[in-house]
Amino acid sequence: MWKIPFTFFIILTAVISGLLFWQWDAYSKEMEQPADIELASQKVSIKTNSDTLIITQKLSGLTGNKQFTFALPSGVITWQCILEDGSECEQQEEKVTSLRADSKGNIQLQITLPVRPNEKAFLFNQWLASFSNVQVTDTKVELIDSTKRNGTWVMGIPLIGSNKLDFIDYYVFEGQLAHPSLYWQASPLVQNEIDGKLMVYSEQQGSLSQSFNSIQQISNRPHVTIVITNQLQEGNGNGLIITRPDIQPDMLEKKLIYSLLKLKFNNLPMEQTWLVDLHVSLLLNSESQIPKSNQMIQELKLKLSEEELESYLQIFLSQEIRYSAKKLDEILVNVTGKTTSFFELNKEEDTSLTPLYFLEKRNISVEEKIQKNLHIIYIEDQKLFPFVDTLSALGFQVKVLSDNETLLLSKGLNSYRFYVNQNIFIYNEEDYGLLENPLTKINNTIYIDYQWLTSLFKIQIDEDENTVYLKELTE
């Protein structure tokens, strides 16, 4: 279990500054795609001028002669469709919104984007054309720089090679993002590869002191490039983080963990995004700034064994799927072998905590009749029956008064009055005190422990491998 302190949530949200962090196409491979989605490889070349970038973008592997809708990045000065031999495609109207792949399944565009000649740094997050119904599986970028050679080029995909020649600098980047961010700054940066999926660029040699051990324990993570610089304000792009040199090492590492875990969730609604924070705190074994995160973690630690909790974390980290509350519950079921809806019931931050409980998988039989809508839940050593449904199935007349705290029961000549929050009940107009409250309210449902069900109502409970049997004992 990781032991790093976790006090950064409020700062983190400010640092992220409202930007969506990474549109990872590679992480969408496990998601179900519409039938008309096509897969494509992408090759890009960039040539620099003093005030422009000339970008050639080629998609391969498409259906030949099929029409594809596209959108250009903002700020484009000029664009044109070009053929394999470099000549222009047939005349295109200025407002054209779709292009036809050639007979080999290729589409090739050339785009001109402006840059300011005297800029100290710039960042492009959207600098390539986007094609509808196309999933780019891999991107290779060749960059030829003849005008900005004293600076440093960085992308949101790995740098696989570079070479400084007499008149040009040559870079090759390759990865799985369809729209990796592109960054340049005039002053040089020192490159530090932490591992194959984490590259850090900083302005001074040795400015990076942390080892990112926690990051490296997250398997199946995407490539991340970090730029530590004063030349551009902090922000996030596609596969790229820009942060300042004065950021604390542990803060940077935690920011990365948050960002990486955020990728594991499937477009959570705003009221459910706190589930990311919950898992960061759980993984780091640390206090959260969100009260419900702490409550949920306490429930998991209380109701699961150390081995079960560790197994939950390992599965959460290793699976290449997008999580929802339902998917998190599936991990708990896998680990414990018991059915639960813990995360689904608690997925909204502003609702009160529903404790972790498990559902009985076996059939429930009442008076020799299977009750399909009756369920038993387990909380630690307690076996709880839904009070109203169970007693109704046993033939009692049950009425819940308007305060939702008082219950009236009757059967034959016997009558009962129970109070949800009191250790007393009234039987045939006589008061009886109990050592503990037999009733428990969970998620607006009132339950009774099986021991009180048997002792107060003379109910016999038998069990076998497939069924739990309830029947009223006759005098």
Q: Where are the domains of the chain?
A: 9-262, 270-346, 360-472
Rounded Cα distance between 107 and 395, Å, is 72
**Second-level CATH architecture of 9-262:** Sandwich (2.60)
Q: Is 248 helix (H, G, I), strand (E, B) or coil?
A: coil
Q: Is the predicted pLDDT of residue 1 greater than 80, yes or no?
A: no
Q: Is the predicted pLDDT of residue 24 greater than 80, yes or no?
A: no
> CA 467 → CA 20, 454, 461, distances in Å?
49, 17, 11
Fold of 360-472: Copper Amine Oxidase; Chain A, domain 1 (3.30.457)
Quick one: CA dihedral 87, 89, 92, 98, positive or negative? negative
Q: Is the predicted pLDDT of residue 221 greater than 70, yes or no?
A: yes
DSSP 280: H
More confident residue, 373 or 320: 373
Q: Is the predicted pLDDT of residue 17 greater than 70, yes or no?
A: no
* Mean pLDDT lowest among 76-80, 85-89, 344-348: 85-89
Q: Kindly report, residue by residue over 434-458, the tens digit of the pLDDT.
A: 988 999 999 889 999 999 999 999 9
Q: Is 216 helix (H, G, I), strand (E, B) or coil?
A: helix
Q: Kindly report, residue by residue over 380-420, the tens digit of the pLDDT.
A: 889 999 999 999 999 999 999 988 889 999 999 999 999 99
Rounded Cα distance between 294 and 347, Å, is 14
CB-based contacts of 193, cutoff 8 Å, min separation 6 = 199, 200
Strand 38-48 versus strand 134-145 pairing type? parallel
Q: Is the predicted pLDDT of residue 12 greater than 50, yes or no?
A: no
Q: Do domains 9-262 and 360-472 have the same CATH topology?
A: no
Q: Is the predicted pLDDT of residue 207 greater than 80, yes or no?
A: no
The share of the chain scoring above pLDDT 70, in percent, equals 89
Q: Is the predicted pLDDT of residue 327 greater than 70, yes or no?
A: yes
* Mean pLDDT lowest among 54-68, 76-90, 344-358, 437-451: 76-90
Residues 427 and 418: beta-carbon distance below 8 Å:
no
With residues binned 3-state (H G I as helix, E B as strand, rest as coil), the percentages for the chain, rounded to 5, are: 20, 35, 45
Centroid of chain to Cα 253: 18
Strand 467-472 versus strand 363-366 pairing type? parallel
Average pLDDT over residues 368-383: 92
In terms of Cα–Cα distance, which of 225, 259, 230, 262 is closest to 243? 230
Rounded Cα distance between 133 and 69, Å, is 8
Average pLDDT over residues 328-346: 96
More confident residue, 118 or 427: 427
Rounded Cα distance between 377 and 356, Å, is 10
> CA 412 → CA 277, 395, 408, 409, distances in Å?
54, 10, 14, 10
Banded model confidence at residue 28, pLDDT cuts 50, 70, 90: very low
Strand 240-243 versus strand 235-236 pairing type? antiparallel
Q: Is 452 helix (H, G, I), strand (E, B) or coil?
A: helix
Strand 235-236 versus strand 121-124 pairing type? unpaired
Q: Is the predicted pLDDT of residue 183 greater than 80, yes or no?
A: yes
In terms of Cα–Cα distance, which of 142, 219, 143, 140 is closest to 178? 140
What are residue 139's DSSP bridge partners?
Answer: 42, 175
pLDDT of 402: 87
* Mean pLDDT lowest among 18-27, 88-97, 244-253, 435-444: 18-27
Quick one: CA dihedral 339, 344, 349, 351, positive or negative? negative
Joined together, the tokens standing for residue 164 give 């400084």
User: How many C-beta atoms lie closer than 10 Å to residue 423's C-beta?
Assistant: 13
Q: Which residue pairs, CB below 8 angstroms and at least 24 apart, start in 113-119?
A: 113/52, 113/53, 113/55, 113/73, 113/75, 113/76, 113/77, 114/51, 114/52, 114/75, 114/77, 115/51, 115/52, 115/53, 116/51, 117/50, 117/51, 119/186
* Mean pLDDT lowest among 199-208, 288-297, 429-438: 199-208
Classify residue 5 as exposed, middle or buried by CB count within 10 Å of its CB (0-12, 13-18, 19+): exposed
